[in-house]
Structure 1
């Protein structure tokens, strides 16, 4: 029977070793990390969402803005998505597989992509009903009655500032809108323009525009291309002229979305004389209910917002912080001689978000609490005199969400209506937020969210705030306190976090590295808890109805990167949600393997979501990528290597590894030119189009075969299958060195040495794989050359990957250079976002993706310890910028936990705790020591690896 939670032995060992680790690490739960160095703090409230501070319990996440007159707590629940249970595979797609492969073998990439796009991609939601419905809707929007309705409503138009560069969804009144909207504006034609044709530049419009000047249509365009229309001189007149634009938006971002300089009108051929059209326009929403748009994947959705409205006051001494040592956020300030304090946290044991308000003068707390949401389908109602409920549904989907906000007060008066809760002159106030959906699993949506909210509120009814807080902190710290890092401290540690970001690259601030690393662990603990789904592209934090990339699970690196820090940074138990999604994908991936490849086993392509789709999505030039499931299996094997949990391997990891391997045993084909086994069709993620035999695929498949063979041996099963893998392993197309001395990204030697693409996919064999290493110097040299060609810039997660790659190559100073880029300001100086970090230390792709936070934290561990080879290497990539330090609780493969310190770049002392009794080999520079260990015992050595 396959286990759905960690094995009982794993849980037992986890409990057993928490106490042991506490003693080994010398950590005291009540005092560890109490210093301000483990706080993010600011002197002002958040202005943007990426200024706000995140809290989370693995399921319920919040973003704390900390406003004084109005505080906003934007919240999410990790099962609230669009869509619903459905089949994603395209039945019978495998019939076109031979033809696609043949076209690729003949060098006809465009033809192969065209055929694959038509016949091989997965299915979309509403795919078979949308076309007819959209034709009817467009005809209705373009009918004479509809246009007349616009004219009739022209006297009731509202104001909007255009363009809306991020789409109109972030504009009040447009939240969640898809549909038909009219925009209108007047402009003056100077006398000097008389008799001239004019060019009307609208920039990009999503999705279709019908544009009129003085009631005459001047153009219409579909898609997101830039619009430039010629207005004939005869249709213009001196003085005021009117532009009217009907925009039909079917899905995602809507409206005029270019930057302001694109929105203008000017005499044909003379842009220097342009009149800007950016700024205030009038608008009228004609219809907000177009047919549901076909989509390959569902989108993660924001749930709602808590707004706390306070009386106006002059304030002083404002501080906003997030204490990651105990997972609590705070706001403090002084107003009218009273000091006010707010504390926020999201509790995993009690499954509530708490907001606690205090003042140092009785009767001073008065506020109004409201629940709001961006969703069109939303309403609130009073449950009792202390409780307000919010009900929400996404525009396209089967899920419904319910949230309860309950007030507990000491002193004062509380009055609830269907719209808000008013608290007057209280001494102390606590608000408890619960939220749930009807989601049970990817094929069952029969849950009762209202009953869940009631039950969770009832469970805390008799508990004090102090008890709930203490339970929350104890639960959090049992994970957080398993690891500590001290790299030294400078005066920069006393600065607010936003100021530290600005100074980091030019001013020594080693404790900021500690803060960033521990913040990555904090985000991991807050977004990945057993019993919940895995951390998605944004963890559990998202404020947009149309989030970047759907805020889903991108499986060509991003989901995997989210879990890179789990094992080395002593958070192994929190990988359970990752294992859970692999359990699901191994099931749904069987249907995709059958219908797309006519193969046994299971397969996953480059994206999935709450409903566990595994088929190719988006476009054939990057969506057909076969090795997503195989890469997930690498993480399963890593968990076994770090924990040595044989029950986990037997009951959970190996069955899924074997299924993924069975797919490739069947699906690898012989390359007609070289005779090697290759994957076809596939892709080097998001780069170079549809191809046969990308290098990354073969690195991952070899890794899968090797690990499956080792697992079968450890479990003493499947000898014949293991022999098959061993034989095929040798036949897979090997890594190749190209004409420029580079590691080839593809089967052919066609790498462009000026290419700086964000994906460095062929580096998988360096990290997280290990087939290119210090023992393969020629390949390592070629990989180094490829990294040099690719360059040091990139998106946030790409930079984080490069930190780990350079560390694996034992080039600590280059890894450090990448790390400084990772911590560079993303949204200041030029005003244009770039890869780095936002004010709240969220990673910027841009926009926000959490994988860079997790990849960056893993990169620090990779600088300090590497255990992927024949032993445990200490300080293999220590940068000169971190000459002194002390780390406790760093984990290594084989079931070992390490404490060690270094001074002036030299190892001082190391202590090894053996959790499994395995043999241990320590390596430091040219020194090596072999240890026969016993379970639960620790061993101490000096910098020369002499036993102490």
Structure 2
């Protein structure tokens, strides 16, 4: 089931259907009389790269540490604010492509769909005796949005097409083309709500330091006439028309000022359009589908269920059946993969807080990269669901961020290595953010982003076993982040290494002296992330045959990290001191990082404490928070609890976006924080994979967290740690068939309580018995193996 379908047009943005190729994004509304494609380009951000002042926080750092030791938490908060820096810049909307049909708005047989198997949106309806259709996709090979308009009766297509923007812009006409040119703001103030106001623009065209942009629309018609004037295209008496839209910006790199001239953008767009328009629509479509399916079709997910008899709109179907509709469970899993392909391709920017889709000049949280969970969560499904190429934009951004992060660490703290704080943006912002109006250390001062992001560079190696990547890209980044941690850690009164100052992101505590605090020492998440980084650095060094003084220093520091603790309620302690929670049901579960996405906690008392922490937090939460809990309960092997969380996630949040009214999904199935955040989609997809296959312990475990409603099904094409591709089928909640393709020299190990029959092409079947509950087999590279369970 790979189709979103509706019998009505979108009235709100959260009903529109997303298209993208990693660089260009569009939300397709599908109106009858007026259709709209809201447009984005991934490098269209406010600001140039700029830091207005130099920072030296060494004195404040020592003061904060002293105040924390004195348990003067309120003053520690105030002193920490002295270490704040500039806010990140904001992701901007490019504009709107509007198509006005001159046939009126009385239509019959309306149907609007998004086919995520082909990444194509379509609209079909009838006016009078004429059936009108429009079909759209965004091509990665050709870098254009292509829209085909057709009518069933010859010469019945009459439309006007315009481009506009919320930013400062102008429109121009050339022969059978319309052009949108504009500039972003140099500065975009912080915002946390929907304030869709015109931002301040400094200077006129050509005088600003901000990013310039151009969108260019061309058209090819069949037996009709095209006029281009007054900022619009008019098509009269045509039977078919194809629109081609291209966009370019003057972004020159994260550490360079943007270009100043529209001429270069015009040249790029004209070149792109000329090439794309030299192909027929069907040729473009065929190449687009082939390119897209090369990624999408690697994985298939199927559950056995009775299909609903009635035909319902996708959102109405979710409203009626919720998580009991296993077809929707399939669809939402693949939708997450679709969205990652659409918002993150090789050579593009990473998926941001909203993927690539934003229609507001004051987007929630600036639609930036929130590094204390959300940006990382976007990429949880990348490796496991066989989209490693889509992971590359994040890995490239981490490399760039490390450049600014190293400068920041040396300047602010006088330390070695690199890191970043709570947010980053197109310009690879690494400083803590905040001011007297908006800033709060509970979220603004969190210097653990670098170490967390290094989990992604390690995961890319762990799944691929690419030693050249490990040596040339991953290990230098990991080593730099570890250098920062080695310098940042301090010794406590018991000789353990801890962090200070430290926060558990976005969560407050009550101290024994009655003070409400956020800044303390030794937050559990800090120490888990550092343990994770040190562990991976040691393993990477072993793979690369490095055993020097630095490796020994990391090994020693890892052994001295303050151990995790179990608190008075049986929960995994969130801070070094067993404080009381200000919000016992807080949406963040930061101290459970060591269970997921980390693997420091895999069994025993600490795993029980993780479960108790989750029980105390409760099951309710915003969309992304539900996604993290789904992944955690899957890691805890509790499929029934995961299914209970599904019932909350499969909750339609009304399309008119409001802030903080409860999590779920919007009518277009995008994740609702609310407002819209795409991490809810990505974490669901990662969570489903985690329910069916786990490989974080050094061996593969099959069906660890199936709910009882998933009696029969299959998941094919999944990747696991160690360099293998795995497909599994099950019936009556028992594995029936396992297929493994070996992409490495490593032995394949999986958990099994029973013997299996191994089939390898060209060889006789072989029976293998488990040893200590595990089956291990040496495999030939690039060979496929079948394991039949009796």
TM normalised by structure 2 equals: 0.90
Q: Confirm or deny that 1:898 pairs with 2:721.
A: no
Deviation digits for residues 732-786 of structure 1, max 9, x if unmatched? 1111001111110000011439611110000101000011112xx1111111111
Matched residue, 2:365: 549
Counterpart residue number, 1:310: 101
Structure 2 contact 178–228 (Cα < 8 Å) conserved = yes
Say yes or no: does 1:521 pair with 2:337.
yes
Distance of 2:234 and 2:305 partners within structure 1: 46
Partner residue, 1:260: none
Q: 2:536 aligned with 1:719, yes or no?
A: no
Specify whether residues 858 and 842 from structure 1 end up closer, same or farther in structure 2 by C-alpha distance, changes over 3 A only: same
Distance (Å, rounded) in 1 between the aligned partners of 2:721 and 2:646: 24
Report Cα offsets for 1:599-626 as digits up to 9, x if no partner: 1000111100011111111232321112
Structure 2 residue 566 is matched with structure 1 residue 737: yes
Any conservation in 2 of the 1:89–1:592 contact (CA below 8 Å)? no
Counterpart position of 1:52: 16
- Is the deviation greater in 612-621 or in 758-767? 612-621
- Which residue does 2:528 correspond to in 1? 699
1:501 to 313, 318, 333: 318
1:62 counterpart residue number: 26
For structure 1, the 5+ residue unaligned runs are: 1-36, 125-295
C-alpha distance in 2, partners of 1:706/1:855? 24
Q: Which residue of 2 aligns with 1:609?
A: 425
CA distance in 2, matches of 1:335, 1:344: 20
Q: Which secondary structure state, in structure 1, belongs to the residue aligned with residue 64 of structure 2? A: helix
Q: Indicate yes or no: 2:608 matched with 1:792.
A: no
Counterpart secondary structure, 1:930? strand
Say which SS state the counterpart of residue 382 (structure 2) adopts: coil
| Structure number, greater radius of gyration | 1
What is the CA distance between 1:925 and its match in structure 2? 5.4
Matched, 1:357 2:178: no
Tell me if the contact between 1:866 and 1:892 (Cα under 8 Å) persists in the aligned partners.
Answer: yes
Per-residue deviation, residues 16-73 of structure 1 (Å, max 9, x unmatched) = xxxxxxxxxxxxxxxxxxxxx2100000000110000000000000000000000011
Partner residue of 2:235 out of 417, 423, 429: 423
For residues 942 and 459 of structure 1, the distance between their equivalents in structure 2, rounded to whole angstroms, comes to: 51
Question: 1:351-430 alignment to 2 at 5 Å?
Answer: 351-375=143-167, 377-384=168-175, 386-396=176-186, 398-430=210-242
Are positions 1:597 and 2:409 aligned together?
no
- Residue 657 of structure 1 corresponds to which residue in structure 2? 478
Equivalence for 1:188: none
Deviation at 1:928, TM superposition (A): 2.7
Contact in 2 for aligned 1:88/1:613 (Cα 8 Å): no
C-alpha separation in 2, matches of 1:912 and 1:579: 27
What is the DSSP-based 3-state SS (H/G/I as helix, E as strand, rest coil) of the residue aligned with 2:560? coil
Listed as ranges, the matches of 1:413-452 within 5 Å are 413-447=225-259, 448-452=264-268
Indicate the larger mover: 482-491 or 464-473. 482-491
Helix, strand or coil for the counterpart of 1:593?
Answer: helix
Corresponding residue for 1:941? 787
TM-score, normalising length: structure 1: 0.75
Change (3 A) 1:354 1:828: closer
3-state SS in 2 of match to 1:690: coil
Partner of 1:637: 458
CA contact (8 A) 2:47 2:185 kept: no
> Partner of 2:629 in structure 1?
802
Structure 1 residues 26-45: aligned runs within 5 Å: 37-45=1-9
Q: Quick one: which of 686, 690, 693 aligns to 1:862?
A: 690
Mapped to 1, the partners of 2:53 and 2:459 lie a distance apart of 30
Which position in structure 2 is the counterpart of 1:680?
500
Q: What pairs with 1:614-629 in structure 2 (closer than 5 Å)?
A: 614-618=430-434, 619=439, 620-629=441-450
Contact 1:709 1:725 (C-alpha < 8 Å) held by counterparts? yes
SS in 1 for 2:274: helix
Q: Which residue is 2:751 aligned to?
A: 923
CA distance in 1, matches of 2:701, 2:51: 47
Q: Measure how far apart 1:828 and its partner are.
A: 7.7
- Following superposition, the deviation at residue 95 of structure 1 comes to 2.7
CA distance in 1, matches of 2:214, 2:64: 47
- In structure 2, which of residues 45, 66, 73 is the aligned counterpart of residue 102 of structure 1? 66
CA gap of 1:505–1:396, structure 2 versus 1, over 3 A, is same
User: How many Å apart are 1:489 and its aligned residue?
Assistant: 3.5
Aligned partner of 2:601 in structure 1 is 772
User: For 1:797-838, what per-residue CA distance to the aligned partner results, in whole angstroms no more than 9, with x for missing partners?
Assistant: 000000000000111111121122112112289998420000
Correspondence for 1:238 = none
Aligned to 1:121, which of 84, 100, 105? 84
Would the aligned equivalents of 1:303 and 1:373 in 2 still touch at CA under 8 Å?
Answer: yes
Deviation by residue 1:521-576 (Cα, 9 ceiling, x = unmatched): 00000000011110000000000000000000000010100000001101011111
- Match for residue 44 of structure 2 among 71, 80, 97: 80
SS of equivalent to 2:111? strand
Could you tell me which of 100, 116, 124 is aligned with 1:332? Answer: 124
Q: Distance in 1 between matches of 2:468 and 2:154?
A: 57
The runs of 5 or more residues in structure 2 that have no matched partner are: 188-209, 509-517, 755-772
Report the Cα offset of residue 75 of structure 1. 0.5
Given that 1:884 and 1:903 are in contact with CA atoms closer than 8 Å, whether structure 2 keeps it comes out as: yes
Map Cα deviations across residues 241-276 of structure 1 (whole Å, 9 max, x no partner). Answer: xxxxxxxxxxxxxxxxxxxxxxxxxxxxxxxxxxxx
C-alpha contact (below 8 Å) 1:355/1:430 kept by paired residues: yes
Is the 2:40–2:358 Cα contact (8 Å) retained in structure 1?
Answer: yes
Quote the offset at 1:115 in angstroms: 1.6
Q: Distance in 1 between matches of 2:131 and 2:423?
A: 49
Residues 94 and 595 of structure 1 are in contact (CA less than 8 Å); yes or no, is this contact kept in structure 2?
no
Q: 2:761 is matched with which residue?
A: none
Are the aligned partners of 2:738 and 2:786 in contact in 1 as well (CA < 8 Å)?
A: yes
Asked if residue 872 in structure 1 is aligned to residue 700 in structure 2, the reply is yes
Q: Which moved more, 1:476-485 or 1:674-683?
A: 674-683
In structure 1, the residue matched to 2:383 is: 567
CA contact under 8 A between 2:507 and 2:582: conserved in structure 1? no
State the aligned residue count: 729
Cα distance in structure 2, aligned partners of 1:771 and 1:491: 41
How far the C-alpha of 1:461 sits from its partner, in A, is: 3.0
Structure 2 counterparts to residues 203-282 of structure 1, below 5 A? none
State the alpha-carbon separation in 1 of the partners of residues 643 and 312 from structure 2: 22
Q: For the Cα contact (< 8 Å) 2:503–2:519, is it kept in 1?
A: yes
CA contact (8 A) 1:641 1:893 kept: yes
Report the Cα distance in structure 2 between the residues aligned to 1:345 and 1:763, rounded to whole angstroms: 40
Cα shift at 1:395: 3.1
How big is the shift at 1:394? 2.1
For the aligned residues, what is the CA RMSD? 1.6
Cα shift at 1:924: 3.5
What is the CA-CA distance between 1:451 and the residue it aligns to?
1.9
Runs of at least 4 residues off by over 6 Å: 828-832
Residue 242 of structure 2 aligns to a residue whose secondary structure is strand
Matched, 1:815 2:667: no
Deviation sequence 1:76-97 (CA, Å, 0-9, x none) = 0000011111138842122321
Task: Please give the alpha-carbon distance, in whole angstroms, between the structure 2 residues aligned to 1:522 and 1:88.
Answer: 40
Residue equivalent to 1:576: 392
